[in-house]
Each structure stands twice: as C-alpha cells, then as structure tokens.
Amino acid sequence: GAAAAAPGDPRVRVVELVPDAATWGSSTLRWPSFFFADRTLAAPAGSGGADDARRSLDRLDLGVAPAPPNATELDAARARLARARAEEQVKFVWAADWINSWLFAAAPGVRAALPLYAQSWLRNFLAGSILYYVVGGAWALWIYRIRADVYFPGGRGMPAKRDVLLQIWVSQRAMVLYTLMPTISDFLIEHGWTLCFFDFGAYPLWLYVAFHAFYFVCVEWGIYWMHRLLHDIKWAYRLLHATHHKYNKENTLSPFAGLAFHPIDGMLQATPYVVGLFLVPVHYWAHLAMLFFTAVWTTNIHDTLDGECEPVMGAAYHTIHHTTYRHNYGQIFTLWDRFYGTLRVPKREGKEE
C-alpha cells in the first residue's frame, strides 16, 4: 500500500491484487479493499496527476506470483498471462477513478467518503441527469422555439407542457436505477469477468473494427427482442412497458420522453450492452462511448420529426411504434425489424412504402 495523499494532491485509487490461495500465477481481487479501503497512490505535486498515475501502474506490485525457476514453458506463459490480466484490471479501476475525479472535482470530500462503486453509481446518476437535461433541453429549444415555424407550424403537433413535465418527472425518478446498469458493467469489467480490454493496440485495426461492429449488431438484436418481448408478454407490458406507452400520439411525444420508462423496463432494455461484453472483445472507452451515444439517440427518436435517414431507425419510425404498438422495435437501425417482418415505413408524399 502507498502512503495516503495529502488533501488536494493528484492521486489515483488502486485495487489490491493478491495471489490466489490455491494456484500461483493467478490473481483475485481482495473484496474488502476493492469496495471499502481507501488505498491511494500519490502522484507528484504539479506533475500532471493522471498521466503520472498511469505511469505508476508499471511500479505496482500486482501480487501475481512469478513462475518458479523450474517452471515449464507453459507454466511461465500462464504466469505472464495472469500478470497481464492483473495489469488490465488495475487500468480499468484507474480509468473509473479518473472519470470520478473529474466529476467530483468540486466536492473531493464527498468522493473520499464513498467507496469506488458508490462513487461510480453517483457519477453515472449525475452525468446521466446532466446529459438528459442538456441534450433534451437544447433539442426542445431548437424544435419548439427557434425552428417551431418549420417543424410545428401554427403549433400543430407540439406536445402539451403537462406531458413534457410528466416525462421529465418519470425519467428523473427512474434515473436512479437506470444508472445502476453502467455501474454493474464497471463492476464486471474491473473484476476481469468480461472480454472488455483497455489497450488500443491489443488487436489489429481490422479486428478491432470487426469486434465492435459485431458487438453493435449483437446489442441491436438483443434490444430488438427485449423490446418486442416487453410488448408480447402481456404482464410485462402491463406492469412495465405501459409506462412508456402512455405517450401514444404524436402530440404527446417529446425529446424528454426518451427515458420516461418504468425503471426496471429501462434496465432490461440496457441489458444487451452488458451481456455483449461477455460475447465479444470491446474496448473500454468504446463501450462508454456507445452508452453515451445511446443516451443522446433516445432524445432524437422521440421528437416525431422525419429525417428520412434509412436504414437508420429515425424518429418517424419510432413514432409509428408508439402509435401501432406492433412495429419498429429496433433502436438505431431497421435491420432486425426488416429481418423479422415488423418494419413499417413512414408515409411520405401521401404514399406508404
């Protein structure tokens, strides 16, 4: 363990890795320290903080026993692999702590008082709420005020203020549990239980692109079926998904409706992002970027405007879903709706395709 950093010093919280009791060459996370101990590694004052903390990872004793002198080549390879995995886990913890340090920069005392995953959950809640209001507010300002005469001439089709306020209330109330899902994914990633990786150079570029494209396709398929089942299973629709479908007319939808779900419904539809981490290697920052993009996208597809952006599942497609209940279950692309026969194309120029 390192000496505690003085208040205000750049520092990074690190996870203690210890040899497995049964097998040398492997490592496990010490549960109490991972959740509760305030183990910090101080970076030199005025020295770039996070960069120095990253370099200091090379000096950490990861607690992975080296192969004994008489070890076979296979045993030595196993020991090297165990150390590489341990180093990867420490980098994930460093990254999460670095993100937390930015969000809690104005309240270091709050951050210091909370264990890592409580910090991450609070970080996800605050960041999610800020993103919801900033993106939703900017979108609403643009389409309902600045460009209202173009998108809603004469106010036709514009949602009532009471509907928008209800959507904000439902979304904010559910945000506490929504943001548990990325916290769970942090937990799984930092324990080394997923295929998530940290180093950009871990795979050739073509394979990196292929992995992320496949992950995206898997997530889209998972969300399609999760969404469809929430309609097809009657009790699931009645108890969970009906909350979101209160907004079943064009003039009741708004950018703020994107997160107006029952909290368990929202968690279920986010599950494919977590399950996909067990199926295909995904870069840590790419995973976070996809979650960020999805949060923005949910704003877009509830504004009811037709961007004519096929094969993207734009707002006009999703408006059909809210009015028919039986079409356009996809999230970003029309691929799986077309494949399973549930696609319905918006009417344009008086003709439905």
DSSP string for 204-237: -HHHHHHHHHHHHHHHHHHHHHHHHHHHHSHHHH
Q: Pick out the chain residues at pLDDT < 70.
A: 1-84, 348-353
Q: Determine the pLDDT at residue 115.
A: 86
Distance CA 73, CA 82 (A): 14
What is residue 213's predicted lDDT score, i.e. its pLDDT? 96
User: Given this model, what pLDDT does residue 278 score?
Assistant: 96
* CB neighbour list of residue 52: distance below 8 Å, 6 or more residues apart: 10, 43, 44
Helix (H) or strand (E) holding 351: strand 351-352
Rounded CA-CA distance 103/7 in Å is: 17
Confidence (pTM): 0.77
Per-residue CA distances from 2 to 119, 249, 339 (Å): 21, 59, 56
Nearby residues of 217 by Cβ (< 8 Å), 6 or more positions away:
335
CB-CB neighbours of 175 under 10 Å? 19
- pLDDT at position 113 is 87
- pLDDT score at 341: 96
Q: What is the pLDDT of residue 191?
A: 86
Contact of 24 with 65, CB cutoff 8 Å: yes
Task: Please give the Cα distance from 29 to 16 (Å, whole number).
Answer: 7
Of 60, 54, 61, residue with least CA distance to 10? 54
Report d(CA 39, CA 163) in Å as an integer.
48
CA–CA separation, 284 vs 186, rounded Å? 9
What is the rounded distance in angstroms from the CA atom of residue 38 to the CA atom of residue 265?
35
- CB-CB neighbours of 80 under 10 Å: 14
